[in-house]
Structure 1
Amino acid sequence: MTGLLDVSRCEGVLWLTLNDPESRNSLSEGMMALLGRQLAAAADDRSVRVIVLAGAGPVFCSGHNLKDITAHRSDPDRGAAYFSALFDSCAQLMMAIVQHPKPVIAEVAGLASAAGCQLVASCDLAIAADTARFCTPGVNIGLFCSTPMVALSRNIPAKHAMEMLLSGDVFDSADAQRMGLVNRVTAAEELRGTVSALAVRIASKSMATVRIGKQAFYRQRELPLAEAYAYASKIMTENLLQRDAEEGIAAFIAKRPPSWENDT
């Protein structure tokens, strides 16, 4: 355990569980700093192959702490410097997830609200329990969820994103799957087993190949079609010249299990 964050490892999977029930697992400065440090350390840790973000209790993550935000309205600048630093830190955390060399999976058992929904959208994969709920309710209190909008609009179709952002309504896990915010929905009692099985299965792959693929996936999405194909062709060529691709293809032809470089 690391303060507000529970940290555990199993079979190449690093489990990071938000555990601050008093604030409904809010993304406080402390929580974001802890997550950032764990992600940074995991990037160079060869024993970590997959990362899972989870939330203890009925709330996955409630987003930013409105009580902390309100407290800074008494600052000489009415909180402007604090607000700016808070949202900058949040943006850095979300980008650290997207740019991380290891796959990051969100395990969502409860409510993911505002920046908590942003956290889910920033992960590479998301598995939800049938008890999970999702919302970007800022519009209900006069604060449009503009930063959650960045991750949300890059994960689900525009009209679904705008419905969430403009209505502030709470959507269930079936809605989230229909929109594409989560990969699949499972019974609450099966959530941990489902996530663990997926994480371990991904962890069994060549981590050099997974790293190449994750980076290329996000990079090509930013490019026009022709440029995306040119970039992807270059990446495929470079990938084929790597040891794990040579080993994987040879193992497939020989009908034997591959021996990845990160396993030797």
Structure 2
Amino acid sequence: MTAQLATPPLLHRDDRDGVVTLTLDRPGQFNALSEGLLDALQTELDRIASDPAVRCVVLAGAGKAFSAGHDLREMRASPRLSYYQALFNRCGRLMQSLQALPVPVIARVHGIATAAGCQLVASCDLAIAAASARFAVSGINVGLFCATPAVALSRNVSAKRAFDMLVTGRFIDAATAADWGLINAAVPDDALDAAVAAKVGEILAKSPAAVRYGKAMFYRQRQMALGDAYAFAADVMARNMMEPDAAEGIDAFLAKRAPQWRSPDASA
């Protein structure tokens, strides 16, 4: 009887002190987003969304790259309109799930982040990259305009800069990506992990309740007219003020002491 080889995992999850690190693990394919990897990542995001103990998520890639985007070989193996429509809708749902999570998501970027890989970076709340990292939406080079990555990209950088990247497929370096607003910072390669850890530490030092209120409010108000945004924000802020953390934080400030935040999974 022939032994069956186990299928290697496409995604690794590490939980530590309220921080979930999700590592794309197809290093031989530069972490291309195969159907299996998309499904694995969606499953973990859905799990995280309902876990009150999670405080922050870090998205990383194994091997030499963050992600090279969709798996082109897999895509060419199923040349049907219905397949492509389902695939890109699945990818769109994943990107929206990143922003729908109640906690911040930080992209830890090294190597290349191209096409849907660049879309992943743009869809995360925060992104820190190694100085040697490079970014592109390069589908145009193989005759495919990166339409779905354009949605996330154009919500991070200016219209003219986004369209230039989309229509030329050219790469930009990490310093340019930081200057344009695609990422928060470009750091020396050997300082990437420390920079990500420092940003995680900043988030963990804040009230879990306030962070959750804030992330949900931030993205929703961006789609509103100015007056509606202020009305919505006022209600969110008032509800946030009713949280025990707000009372504790203000009292601690007035008493000149460090606040003791409520555990995110504590019962009301």
Q: TM-score, normalised by structure 2?
A: 0.93
Q: Distance in 2 between matches of 1:238 and 1:45?
A: 21
Paired positions, count: 258
Amino acid at match of 2:39: A
Q: Secondary structure at the match of 1:9?
A: strand
Question: Deviation digits for residues 114-144 of structure 1, max 9, x if unmatched?
Answer: 0000000000000000111000011111110
Q: Which consecutive residues of structure 2, in runs of 5 or more, have no partner in the other structure?
A: 1-7
Using the TM superposition, give the Cα deviation of residue 44 of structure 1 relative to its aligned residue in structure 2, in angstroms. 2.5
Q: Is the 8 A contact 1:53 1:107 kept in 2?
A: yes
Q: Distance in 2 between matches of 1:253 and 1:9?
A: 35
Using the TM superposition, give the Cα deviation of residue 45 of structure 1 relative to its aligned residue in structure 2, in angstroms. 2.3
Using the TM superposition, give the Cα deviation of residue 55 of structure 1 relative to its aligned residue in structure 2, in angstroms. 0.7
Runs of 4+ in 1 over 4 A off after TM superposition: none
The aligned residue for residue 171 of structure 1 is: 172
For 1:78-97, list aligned pairs within 5 A: 79-97=80-98
Matched, 1:98 2:104: no
The aligned residue for residue 246 of structure 2 is: 245
Matched, 1:5 2:49: no
Of Structure 1 and Structure 2, the greater helix share is in: 1
Q: Is the 8 A contact 1:46 1:262 kept in 2?
A: no
The aligned residue for residue 56 of structure 2 is: 50
Which is worse superposed, 117-126 or 153-162?
153-162
Question: Deviation digits for residues 141-179 of structure 1, max 9, x if unmatched?
Answer: 111000000111111111111111111001110110111
Amino acid at match of 2:16: C
Using the TM superposition, give the Cα deviation of residue 23 of structure 1 relative to its aligned residue in structure 2, in angstroms. 1.8
Which is worse superposed, 5-14 or 17-26?
5-14
The aligned residue for residue 156 of structure 1 is: 157
Question: Deviation digits for residues 56-102 of structure 1, max 9, x if unmatched?
Answer: 122100110110111112xxxxx112111111110110010011101
Q: TM-score, normalised by structure 1?
A: 0.94
Identity of aligned residues (%): 48
For 1:178-257, list aligned pairs within 5 A: 178-257=179-258
Q: Is the 8 A contact 1:129 1:191 kept in 2?
A: yes
Q: Which consecutive residues of structure 1, in runs of 5 or more, have no partner in the other structure?
A: 74-78
Equivalent position to 1:25, from 24, 31, 51:
31
Using the TM superposition, give the Cα deviation of residue 47 of structure 1 relative to its aligned residue in structure 2, in angstroms. 2.9
